[in-house]
Amino acid sequence: MERSPNSTELDPERLDRLDYLVAALKKRGIYLTLDLYTIRATRPGELPAYPDRSFRHDEYKGLIYIDDAAMKNWMQFSRNLLEHRNPYTGLSWKKEPAIVFLSLVNEDTLFDLLRKVPFVQKIYEEEFMRYAARKKIQLNNRNRAAEYDRFLTARYLRGYRKMRDFCRRQGVVAPICGQNYCNYNPQAIVRREFDYVDNHFYHGHPSTGGRTPLQFNPASAIPGKLSSLTDAALSRDFRKPFVISEYDFCTPNPCNVEGALLTGAYGAFQGWDAICRFAYEGKPERCRQEVPLAVFTIRHDPLRLLSERAAQLFFLRGDVKRSNDARLILQAETAASYPRLQPLALLNAVGTMAVSCPGFSMPSPMGGVILKEIPRHFISANLSALEAEAAARELAGRKKFLSDTGELSLDAGNGTFSVITPFSEGAVLPGCGVAEGRFARIENLRGFAAFAVASLDNRPLASSRRILLLHLTSSRNSNMIFRGRQEEHLQSWGTLPILVRNGAAKLTLNRNLSKFRCYALDLNGVRVGDIPLTVHKEHTMLSLYTGRFGKVIAACELVSEDLHSQGKHFSREGGTK
C-alpha cells in the first residue's frame, strides 16, 4: 500500500480489482501463473540493517538470499496475499486451483542479477570471503569463479528451501519454482529442486526498457538461429513440466511479427507445457484507450495480435508435431562452462541435466554419461563432453536446420523459416523470395513479412471449407524518430495513428477453390471486400496487399460457397464470429 510505511501491506482497492480479475479469468477457464515477488520496492527502515535506505526490486531480489530481515519481509507479504480470501471465489489464494504455477521470486537468478546491483554484490563478495575462510578454501585465479558459483548455488538453495517450505506450511497447493530467467550452468543443479522449470526469453529487448533514448536489435532472430529461444529450450529438465512464463519479440523491432510463429511452432515441437506472452497490456485503463505502441504490450498492435492466432494453432491446437527424438545434455556438476549446443533445439527436443559421476573417468571437465533418473524410452541420444564439443563446432557452421519431424525448416543464411503441417502452413521471408509448402506456395514481393495459411474448421487444408490467410508486415507509431544505419536507436516513440508497412505477395494454393470466395478482412475481422481468385486446374492463385479497399488488410478468409452466406467473420480479439 503506497501510503503505508510497510510495503508488505496490501492495498484493499487494488487487491479487490485483482480478486475480481482472478475470478473472471477462472470463470472463463483461464489459468494463472503467480510470482510472489516482482517489483515491490521496500520503504526506508523496513530492513533494520539499512534504516535510511529503500531498495529497488533488483536489489531486494539479491538481499532475500543473504539478509534474514529481507527474507522475513518476503514471507510477511507472501503470507498476507496467500491467506487472503477472495470474496469472488470464496477461496484463499493459497488454495486457488486456477493458479497452476507459483514462482517464489521473479527473475532472481543470482548468477546474472548481482552484476547489475553493485551495492548487493559487495555484500555477497564479503560473505563469500568469510565462506571461503570457513571452508579453508585457498582462492586463486584458477578456482575463484567456480568456488564463487558454488557459494551462490548453496546460498540460493538454502533460501529457496526456506521459501518453498514456508509456502507448503501455509497450505499452498500449486507447483513451485524459482530462477525463471537465464541458463547459467549452475542453474541445472538448482532446478533439480523445483516442481517445474520456468524460463523467460526476449528478442530485441531494448537497453533501457521503454525509456527513450534506447538501443535495440533491429534484426530478425532467424540469422542468429533463434539464440534466445534455443537457450531457454536447453534449460528444460525432462523429468519436470516446462513453462515459458514470459517471452516477447519486442517493439520497435521491425521483424517482431515473426516471434509468435517461431515460438508457437518450436514450443509445440519441443513439447513445452505452457507459453505466456509478456504482455497483453500492463495497465487496465490502456485497455479502454487508443494509445501508441509500446515495447512489450500487444493490445494495440494489430499485427502481433494476429500473429498470436497462428501460434495458438501451432501450439494449442497441436498442428505442429512434437519431436520424434530427444537430445539430453549431460553436464557435470563441476562444469564451469559447456559447449554452445543451443541450435540442437532446431533439430530435436533438448534438455540439460547436471550429473555427478563417482568413479567415472570423464574425458574433460565437462560432461559424462548417466541415465538412472531419465526414462530410457524418451532419450535416444546423449552427448558426452567430447561429443558435445564436436557437435558445437558443427552447429556453429551449419546454416540450415530441418526438425526431426520434417515440419519446421530454418535457414539462418537466407533468414527464412517455414512450417508445413496438414492443418496449417506458415513462413517468414526477409524480402522478395518464395516459400514452398505442400498446400501453399508463398511469393513475397515486398519487404520483411510473415505468413500463415490455416484451416479454421479443424479439417486438413486439403479438405477445409474455411481457411485463414495472414499477411503480416510491421507496425509503427506515427512520427517515431530513429537514428543509426539500421535504425537501431529510438529517440522518440511518436504518436497515433499506428501505421502498417505496405506489403505485397502472391499465393498459389494447391487445390481447386472455384467454389470458394475470398474475403478481405479489416483489423476488426469484418469482411470489407472480395479478393479475386484465379483457378487453373488444381491450383488457385490470389494476390495479397496490405492496403486494399481503403483499409489495412492483414487477414483474408477463404470460404466455401455453402458457408459464405452465413455472414461469419474473423475477429482479431477472439477467433470467429
Residues 413-429 have pLDDT tens digits of 999 999 999 999 999 99
Position 385 scores a pLDDT of 60
Position 375 scores a pLDDT of 37
Backbone angles phi, psi at 429, to 5 degrees: -130, 125
Instruction: Please write down the HEC assignment for all residues of 253-315.
Output: CCCCCHHHHHHHHHHHHHCCCEEEECCCCCCHHHHCCCCCCCCCCCCCCHHHHHHHHHHHHHH
**How far is residue 551's CA from residue 530's CA, in Å, rounded to a whole number?**
13
> 3-state DSSP call for residue 40?
coil
With cell 482472478, the residue in question is 22
The answer to whether residue 573 scores a pLDDT higher than 70 is no
**How far is residue 403's CA from residue 425's CA, in Å, rounded to a whole number?**
15
**How far is residue 398's CA from residue 392's CA, in Å, rounded to a whole number?**
10
Q: Are 236 and 197 in contact, with CB atoms under 8 Å apart?
A: yes
Residues 36-44, mean pLDDT to the nearest whole number: 95
Q: pLDDT band for 378, please (50, 70, 90 cuts).
A: very low
Q: Are 453 and 509 in contact, with CB atoms under 8 Å apart?
A: yes
Radius of gyration of the chain (CA): 26
Position 48 scores a pLDDT of 93
The answer to whether residue 212 scores a pLDDT higher than 70 is yes
pLDDT tens, position by position, 276-318: 999 999 888 898 899 999 999 999 999 999 999 999 999 999 9
Position 361 scores a pLDDT of 32
Position 4 scores a pLDDT of 77
In this structure, are strands 326-332 and 381-383 parallel, antiparallel, or unpaired?
parallel
Number of H helices, E strands in the chain: 13, 32
The answer to whether residue 549 scores a pLDDT higher than 70 is yes
Position 470 scores a pLDDT of 98
Position 373 scores a pLDDT of 36
Q: What residue type is assigned to position 78 of the chain?
A: S
Residues 504-529, mean pLDDT to the nearest whole number: 97
Residues whose CB falls within 8 Å of the CB of residue 490, separated by 6 or more in sequence, listed in order = 206, 212, 213, 214, 215, 216, 252, 480, 481, 482
Q: Are 292 and 498 in contact, with CB atoms under 8 Å apart?
A: yes
Q: pLDDT band for 391, please (50, 70, 90 cuts).
A: confident
Phi-psi region of 318 (alpha: psi -120 to 50; beta: other; left: phi over 0): left
Sign of the CA dihedral with 29 first, then 451, 301, and 531 last: negative
**Is 312 buried (19+), middle (13-18) or exposed (0-12) by CB count in 10 A?**
middle
Position 568 scores a pLDDT of 52
Phi-psi region of 550 (alpha: psi -120 to 50; beta: other; left: phi over 0): left
Cis peptide before 44 (omega within 30 of 0): no
Cell reading at 323? 519431436
**Is 179 buried (19+), middle (13-18) or exposed (0-12) by CB count in 10 A?**
buried
> 3-state DSSP call for residue 185?
coil
Q: What average pLDDT is seen over the chain?
A: 91
Give the up-direction half-sphere exposure of residue 183: CA atoms within 13 A in the CB hemisphere: 25
The answer to whether residue 360 scores a pLDDT higher than 80 is no
Position 562 scores a pLDDT of 84
Backbone angles phi, psi at 25, to 5 degrees: -65, -45
Q: Are 241 and 351 in contact, with CB atoms under 8 Å apart?
A: no
Position 233 scores a pLDDT of 97
Q: Are 307 and 575 in contact, with CB atoms under 8 Å apart?
A: no
Considering only CA atoms, which of 412, 413, 408, 444 is closest in space to residue 425? 408
Position 326 scores a pLDDT of 85
Q: Are 513 and 564 in contact, with CB atoms under 8 Å apart?
A: no
**How far is residue 192's CA from residue 160's CA, in Å, rounded to a whole number?**
12
CB neighbourhood size of 393 (10 A): 12
pLDDT tens, position by position, 457-472: 999 999 999 999 999 9
pLDDT tens, position by position, 227-267: 999 999 999 998 899 999 999 999 999 999 999 999 999 99
Q: pLDDT band for 130, please (50, 70, 90 cuts).
A: very high
In the chain, what is the straight-line distance between the N-terminal and C-terminal CA atoms, in Å? 42
Residues 20-24, mean pLDDT to the nearest whole number: 97
Write the CA distances from 450 to 317, 475, 487, integer angstroms. Answer: 20, 13, 21
Residues 166-195, mean pLDDT to the nearest whole number: 95
Q: pLDDT band for 384, please (50, 70, 90 cuts).
A: low
**How far is residue 542's CA from residue 353's CA, in Å, rounded to a whole number?**
50
Position 397 scores a pLDDT of 94
Considering only CA atoms, which of 348, 225, 322 is closest in space to residue 269? 322
